[in-house]
Structure 1
Amino acid sequence: MSLPWSDAENDAIVADYFAMLADDAVGRAYSKAAHRRALVARIGRAEGSVEYKHQNISAVLKGLGEDWITGYKPAFNFQWSLVDAVARWLARHPDWVARLPRAGSSVLREGADRATAALRDEAPLWIGPPPTHSNAPPPGELEQMMAVAAKFDVAERDARNRALGRAGEARVMASERATLAAAGRHDLAARVRWVADEDGDGAGYDIASFEADGAERLLEVKTTNGWERTPFHLTRNEIAVAEDRREAWQLVRLWNFAREPRAFAIRPPLDAHVSLTPTSFLAALR
């Protein structure tokens, strides 16, 4: 029976994994076998052990709401010392968490503040249905991922990443305009408003758009670089507006954003799709 991995060994394999992931994310060629052999020579672990640990890192990253190397299928029942090693790497590389879509995309070239103009020619997003119980991972896997997400509060991390949030809103703005234009409603496309940018965050939605028949669409956009079940924050005001404007309001969840943005929509009532957990309280002196 092999000994548990030390912090030094975990740090070494995590750094090596991210070196491969950085290449993978931009489509740059690399050799997993060469990386594996070099790591084996460095830390003295068996190749099979290294290979499985790479899969464990994919699972940890999934729980942390990050993307992972698709060639390393997530393997669960990982040790928390590995989670800590991934968290240490991310803490030393805040630019990784804050990254926008891969180099070459119009959002990254122009920057989030100029994203509306940069995205004017982007194609409409395909916005699918939300995840359901029927397509959820096995309970043990989901429980472990949710525990990781809760410990490191990935929802708060994404909420604080304003550049990521703005880029996601800009992408949905462009999609709404492109969809209306494709339907021949250039008049409505010209009236789509980025409310959060123009008026601030108090409206309870980010984008005011339209259906092709002119009906209102009030879109609250939540963006993550992680998988579709990464937790996210909703404000009390967003929940109230969702309830008051049920016919028009919907949440657009963008995920896998840094690599290949995907989306699904949630319509009220929210509690039919998500579990709402209070995370803070307003304290006033007596």
Structure 2
Amino acid sequence: MLANDVAHVPYSKSEHNQRMQEKIGRSRKSIEFKHQNISAVLKGLGEDWIPGYKPAFHFQMTLVDAVVRWLARNPSWLARNPSTRPESGLSEASLIWVGPPPTHSNQPPPQELEQTFKIARKFDVAARDERNRTLGRAGEECVLGHEHAMLKNAGRDDLAGKVRWVAEEEGDGLGYDIASFTIDGRPRLIEVKTTNGWERTPFQITRNELTVADQRRTEWCLFRLWNFSRQPKAFELYPPLDAHVSLTAITFQASFY
């Protein structure tokens, strides 16, 4: 059902539920609630879920293991090509909805948040998204189109023509992915982090990216793109990043004296 929903293929929840009742002998409400549990697991895994099955928490970790096993047996799901990119080039790219970043004041209930993050930590969702080059590249291309559209809409065609996808042209070592401009012409260095999950899905950031963010504070920003497989939304974070997120060292380089 989720695959059909993402692909905009019609399907029937009620027919699926009826088939499940016949197969496993459970009630309609029991099956619906289990689907809500699965939505909560997918949320913790930084994945999309079926609309209408609102995530319901307080489930056993065995359900998480079952969903992860399915993802392992179906690697094409995580590696699927996002369908959000414009087919006719950057000239038809549209603006991405950019809202406020997550804060303490708008976070979910503590128990729900803790269970979600427990799943994300156990299965290293941030590292998985970082390794998914198809997702990362598509996100960068989407933001590139957004920057073009933003500048063109502001009447700055001169600046729009100078926006560069530096990660594609020069590689990932610069500490940012896109070199753009503000409407008044100031440099705008954008590091893009993309997920199909919700806005609080953890992400990875490298030491080099943090260094560039610190050295070029007035120019650098992190563009967090979320809900990417459906309707991309975003928020921006500006240095110092530790004012917005908790930065945790997960690896260390070992050198001989």
Tell me the TM-score normalised to structure 1 length. 0.87
Deviations 1:57-83 (A, max 9, x none): 000000000010120010000111100
Partner of 2:237: 266
Does residue 236 of structure 2 align to residue 255 of structure 1?
A: no
Structure 2 distance, partners of 1:87, 1:60, is: 9
What runs of 5+ residues in structure 2 fail to find an aligned partner? none
Is 2:96–2:233's contact at 8 Å kept on the other side of the alignment?
Answer: yes
Unaligned segments of structure 1, at least 5 residues: 1-19, 110-116
The one-character-per-residue Cα deviations of 1:175-218 (angstroms, maximum 9, x if unpaired) are 11111111111111111111111111111111110011110100
Does residue 230 (structure 1) correspond to residue 201 (structure 2)? The answer is: yes
Whether 1:27 aligns to 2:15 is no
Question: Match for 1:78 among 59, 72, 92?
Answer: 59
1:176 and 2:147 correspond? yes
Name the amino acid aligned to 2:243. A
> For each residue in 1:254-275, what CA deviation from the matched residue of structure 2 results, as whole angstroms up to 9, or x when unmatched?
0110111111100111111100
CA RMSD in angstroms, aligned pairs only? 1.3
Deviations 1:141-200 (A, max 9, x none): 000000000111110110001111111001111111111111111111111111111111
Change (3 A) 1:106 1:155: closer
Q: The residue matched to 2:91 in structure 1 has which SS?
A: coil
Deviations 1:197-253 (A, max 9, x none): 111111111111001111010000000011100000000011111111111110000
Aligned residues: 257
* 1:120 aligned counterpart, secondary structure: helix
Q: Which residue of 2 aligns with 1:138?
A: 109
Alignment of 1:26-175 (within 5 A): 26-102=7-83, 105-106=84-85, 118-175=89-146
**Amino acid corresponding to residue 53 of structure 1 in structure 2:** K
Find the partner of 1:204 among 175, 195, 209: 175
TM-score by length of structure 2 reads: 0.96
CA contact (8 A) 2:85 2:142 kept: no
Contact map agreement 1:155 1:232 (CA 8 A) in 2: yes
